[in-house]
Structure 1
């Protein structure tokens, strides 16, 4: 290892970091091939049995729950779903989507348990118990199921009813994306409790720092992530009246006040980035993606792929997964490069704001040690889409004393 990294890590720490990251790098290398194989299996082998199973289960549930079509409240929901879908087959569509989602989750479960629980515990990075890990996994799976159901009803339901559905759906969702960051402070609370940072010197100093940066914020909160992880983290959530500075409780325990201010200054650099061009570009890309999906669904219907009998047949859902995978795989290196440059600029902004290079370096080094950051990851890992520059590069870029 070059002398550059010796002040950051001891040889023993470096050896542990390499041992920790090696399985992650192997997974990163093989995961695209595994995902493609899974998607091919879904399209070629499991599409028909999953669809037939969804039909059979929906029929059975329809018979057992026939009373729901006449009950005072549920009948309104059932009729609304029939109207949206254009026929009673929406139950089959929902179950088909949930079958695919559950199959993928179960297939990846052994890998997830190894990487998110066993490996993390082996290297002292996790505070999860088997119960808390299971609860968080259940929350994640539930959110994924709701998202899958929402996509089926929103995308396929509108596509079956309206010719220009991609505009009807895309424009409102794109507009919502422009302001969606306002709800960011509440998303993490699904997993972790947050409490306001108590009054005292740290809160006073953060308020003063934000006054110098001319950044308005609603509150400073402490996120209790120590129940699951031993990593340090600080970030800004929300926008406008909901903007919140979030510090996790591990950060408060491990870092000095000066180091916490340096971390907050870095995050303040992201607030000062030009936000709207990226949001507008993302919103336009969403509308464009929905148009591509419309063309793909029409092609599938015309060619009768996977036994489809009409436009927006739910059996094309795995095909959309292939499209999303290809787009994400292609876009991630580009988005990663932009993200790394934003991180470099946020470092420069923090130094201008605080004028304290020594403390900023201490903050980076301590974060690298606590979070076990690889100072010199393989180049292909960086180019594949790393969101942050390697910690060794960030420290080397700091101006001298």
Structure 2
């Protein structure tokens, strides 16, 4: 009977892998149908730079093809060649306490995943991004980031992992409610402390100086009835020339962060459009809706885990000999992440809807409507983004509508 579950998971996993490859290939073939800049964007991008964006997309397509294949093969070997079970059996011999055994297993799994990702991360940053003029990061800075990232992740994941596994084994039949409450509280705390204690470990955040831009943004926020007291500039160009802006934090720790590259390359009116869009997400309560959705999903996950935790077929599906709380948590996460990947278009549908609503909020608030159009196009052009992605690929992989559709949705094209 367990063979049915094994075959089902493996077939779905391979199907998802080939679906991803098919969509990526479809997207590249669609892009190559446009050797010249599409008509709506011809005045904003030179033919040479457009060809560069095609080469950039092609580079990442080949990179994704290779890295995705290697990752898929290693995952299947890790599970079905018995490597995962062998590690678990060895831990049973040397770590008698289940909670600490689970923490050890989590860290081994994270470390192996990290090791696999290192060459891909290095190639992406120091070959592709370097080749196309985006990378500003040195190997020394990259190494420092890795060390800091490992230390920070360990500092937060160790107590969280211990608390989750402890609650799972000691709070009775309704442990999933307690674990979810713990998980929810952890995320709220992380939202509070991230901008103040964690983000500054990796970047320098400087208050935006008084001047035309700050005045413009404060007046914009006042018109939109939004508090925007904390505005910071991040030294993003020490790693990359890509541009962006975002809100971070929660409550009193909420702050607007502008990339220094955004300030350098975009006009005051265009930056105001970016900020108005981000404010629009708050006005439409998209952030709150996202938190509710993500926490509801987490609650459902823990409830399903409470049902499946003692089911032998959960473990037999992945050739695991011993049932345990930590292994059940990991195995169900494998299943859930695989299933959810097939529903990406549904999730992106709502994400696109939210982005369109935020775009409309921005247009309603700004003074120069055409600045919104130039801002969006410049962001895509300067980041060498694909201006003509295949619609099906976009539905599976884009959290934002493609630029042409995005402009059409708000009547600017």
Normalising by the residue count of structure 1, what TM-score does the alignment of the two structures yield? 0.82
Which residue, out of 161, 177, 186, partners 1:167?
Answer: 177
- The reply to whether residue 124 of structure 1 matches residue 136 of structure 2 is no
- 1:381 Cα deviation from its structure 2 partner: 2.7
Which residue, out of 227, 233, 245, partners 2:238?
Answer: 227
Aligned pairs for 1:181-192 within 5 A: 181-183=191-193, 185-186=195-196, 187-192=198-203
Q: Which residue of 2 aligns with 1:114?
A: 123
In 1, Cα distance between the equivalents of 2:337 and 2:154? 18
Which residue, out of 141, 147, 154, partners 1:138?
Answer: 147
Which residue, out of 46, 55, 63, partners 1:19?
Answer: 55
- Superposed CA deviations along residues 222-273 of structure 1, whole A, max 9, x for unmatched, are 1111110101111122333222111111111112222221221121111212
Contact 1:25/1:381 (CA < 8 Å) preserved in 2?
A: no
Contact 2:100/2:162 (CA < 8 Å) preserved in 1?
A: no
- 1:141 Cα deviation from its structure 2 partner: 3.7
The number of residues matched between the two structures is: 371
* CA RMSD after TM alignment: 2.9
- The reply to whether residue 209 of structure 1 matches residue 231 of structure 2 is no
Q: Which residue of 2 aligns with 1:271?
A: 282
Which residue, out of 81, 85, 88, partners 1:48?
Answer: 85
Instruction: Name stretches of at least 5 consecutive residues in structure 1 with no aligned partner.
Output: 60-86
In 2, Cα distance between the equivalents of 1:176 and 1:92? 22
Larger RCO: Structure 1 or Structure 2 (Cα < 8 Å, ≥ 6 residues apart)? 2
Contact 1:202/1:257 (CA < 8 Å) preserved in 2?
A: yes
Normalising by the residue count of structure 2, what TM-score does the alignment of the two structures yield? 0.80
- 1:391 Cα deviation from its structure 2 partner: 2.3
- 1:179 Cα deviation from its structure 2 partner: 7.6
Which residue, out of 74, 99, 111, partners 1:102?
Answer: 111
Q: Structure 1 149/26 Cα, relative in aligned 2: closer, same or farther at 3 Å?
A: farther
Which residue, out of 303, 307, 313, partners 2:321?
Answer: 307
Q: Structure 1 197/28 Cα, relative in aligned 2: closer, same or farther at 3 Å?
A: same
Instruction: Name stretches of at least 5 consecutive residues in structure 2 with no aligned partner.
Output: 1-33
What SS is found at the alignment partner of 2:169? Answer: helix
Q: Which residue of 1 aligns with 2:75?
A: 39
